[in-house]
Amino acid sequence: MTPRQLLLPVLLLCWLSAAWGEDSPPAAEASSLWLPAAEIFGFDFALNRYNHRFSGTQDYDVSLSTIRRNLHSAWVVDNDPFRMNQLGHPYQGAMYHGAGRATGHGYWTSAALTFAASAGWEIAGEATPPSRNDQVASGIAGSFLGEPLFRIARLAMKPGSSVPAGWREWVAGAIDPPVALNHGLFGNRYDDLFDDHDPAYYGRLHIGFGSITTHPSDTLGSFKTRVAELDLAIDYGLPGQPGYTYKRPFDYFNFQASLASVGGIENLSTHGLLLGTDFAAGDNYRGLWGLFGSYDYLAPQIFHVSTTAVSIGTVGQWWVGRHVALQGFGLAGIGYAAASTTNDRQLTNDTDYHYGMAPRAALSLRAIFDGRASLDLAAREVSLGRIANRRAGSDDIARIETAFTWRLAGQQAISVGYVRDWRHARYAPPTGDRRQVLGTWSIYYTLLSHQGFGAVEWRDSASGNASAE
């Protein structure tokens, strides 16, 4: 990969921005690209200086000679710590994307800006050779993560949101700092350029405790522990909302983030509709289908895996009866993934992992009972090594999540859940064959969004059907 080759994806994204013009506001209203570019430069400069001061390495001793060398050197696959590469870099890319979106630019323009800014960091932000895996993590996963963060932050700032009025800017800033920064600098100048079109959504916050146990057959030992947990999930743009359309990327997305007192961020995942459309089947089913972009980071103490993928998929809601609705999605695709090859609960050996192309599949189903209770079932699988890494070995990783939630009153609810993680790794000695299984029982206080369990009502009330929420 050369700097000239990097221009091709940027030009493609700019063409997509022009082709889907409804994503972008009029050029006279959006800021010049110099404004988000200046914000990105300031962010990268501060990040470089911070890392130079506190990282304890020479990786950030950037000079004109290192920049010239990186401009002409071959791109490599690095093995920086897993969290830095697979969590830090996507978040860095999300800040690039947020700078574009918060200054009035559309999704594809912001994605092109993110891809270019990521390449700029690889060449001029670090003294080490530019990295292909970092370019995927920052330049592509950054946009897949950045767009949901931008929209959630805007949802938090929206009048009538579940966030108290005095906290809205602070919450938005914690979710997506560029939104709060530009709102503070320019007021509503760029806020008004984005209209969310009033999406139907399901949002919930879990706060509770979990009991974690590894399976006795774990080849590397077993343990039991208890952890405090914080889990946020949002389904945004659920199908069936009258008048809502899917003309822009991420008009539908799913977002989930989980934090544990042992191990830190355990799960950060999102997928959103890039290109697609909605459809109806009879009076009781509404759905959408198309091409989805996704980013997953999963670190459940005994292993860690991350993938950036594109998938074909569908999302839908079916009114099974008068007061019972089923919502769900199914995705199948392929992505660029990284997985651990060690069992290290504290992830201290955080550089022992490998990359490869990997099939990725996800399935989710939520049953909603009269706005009073819900039953959730979700599953994900990544098979690393089945396509690109056969000689090195392979990793088959799966996760199943279940939860039952009972609404007590208003937005207050209580939930119980169970999560089971599997990993089967097959490598040559000394790694060898490894089987790891981890189960987590949890109980939560749950705070629902003001749209409750998110069942979308489109049926004519004259037909005798009742509203769900």
pLDDT at 164: 81
pLDDT over 60 (residue 96): yes
Distance CA 404, CA 421 (A): 19
Verify that 140 and 217 share a domain, yes or no.
no
Tokens of 20: 């889907």
| Among 157, 174, 193, residue at a domain's last position | 193
pLDDT over 60 (residue 27): no
The single-letter code of the amino acid at 363 is L
Average pLDDT over residues 312-339: 94
**Which of 110-119, 141-150, 280-289, 351-360 has the weakest average pLDDT?**
351-360
Number of domains into which the chain is organized: 2
Domain span at 169: 3-193
| Among 193, 217, 236, residue at a domain's last position | 193
pLDDT over 50 (residue 346): no
Distance CA 466, CA 469 (A): 9
Verify that 170 and 220 share a domain, yes or no.
no
The answer to whether residues 132 and 76 touch, using CB atoms and an 8 Å cutoff, is yes
Express the helix, strand and coil content of the chain in percent, nearest 5 each. Answer: 30, 40, 30
pLDDT at 189: 86
The residue that leads in pLDDT, 151 or 80, is: 151
Distance in Å from the first CA to the final CA of the chain = 52
Distance CA 458, CA 463 (A): 11
Verify that 106 and 132 share a domain, yes or no.
yes
Verify that 169 and 210 share a domain, yes or no.
no
Answer yes or no: pTM beyond 0.85: yes
Verify that 353 and 234 share a domain, yes or no.
yes
pLDDT at 22: 47
Distances (CA, A) of 33 to 102, 114, 382: 12, 12, 37
Distance CA 164, CA 118 (A): 35
**Which of 138-142, 216-220, 374-378, 454-458 has the weakest average pLDDT?**
216-220
CA 53 to chain centre: 30
pLDDT over 90 (residue 15): no
pLDDT at 426: 77
Alpha helix positions (H), 20-104: 34-54, 64-72, 82-83, 89-102
Query: To the nearest whole number, what is the mean pLDDT of the chain?
Result: 85
Distance CA 165, CA 160 (A): 8
Half-sphere exposure of 271 (CA within 13 A, CB side): 28
pLDDT at 193: 85
What are the pLDDT digits (tens) for 411-447?
A: 999 999 999 998 887 776 656 677 888 899 999 999 9
- Contacts of 208 by beta carbon, 8 Å cutoff, 6+ apart: 228, 229, 415, 442, 443, 444, 445
Distance CA 253, CA 274 (A): 9
Verify that 76 and 50 share a domain, yes or no.
yes
**Which of 200-204, 219-223, 307-311 has the weakest average pLDDT?**
219-223
Verify that 398 and 444 share a domain, yes or no.
yes
Distances (CA, A) of 199 to 143, 145, 237, 243, 269: 20, 19, 5, 10, 20
CA 188 to chain centre: 27
pLDDT over 90 (residue 191): no
- Residue 469 belongs to a domain: no
Distance CA 188, CA 451 (A): 26
Question: Strand, coil or helix: what is 34?
Answer: helix
Verify that 20 and 114 share a domain, yes or no.
yes
Average pLDDT over residues 177-194: 88
Average pLDDT over residues 278-290: 95
pLDDT at 465: 39
pLDDT over 50 (residue 461): no
pLDDT over 50 (residue 172): yes
Unique residue bearing structure tokens 């749950």: 446
pLDDT over 90 (residue 24): no
Verify that 331 and 248 share a domain, yes or no.
yes
pLDDT at 153: 94
pLDDT at 188: 84
* DSSP assignment string, 303-320: --EEEEEEEEEEEEEEE-
| Among 169, 193, 217, residue at a domain's last position | 193
pLDDT over 90 (residue 352): no
pLDDT over 50 (residue 468): no
CA 37 to chain centre: 23
CATH number at residue 380: 2.40.230
Unique residue bearing structure tokens 């999406």: 199
Average pLDDT over residues 21-42: 74
Average pLDDT over residues 114-125: 94
Verify that 183 and 303 share a domain, yes or no.
no
- Residue 308 belongs to a domain: yes
Verify that 110 and 243 share a domain, yes or no.
no
pLDDT over 80 (residue 202): yes
pLDDT at 263: 80
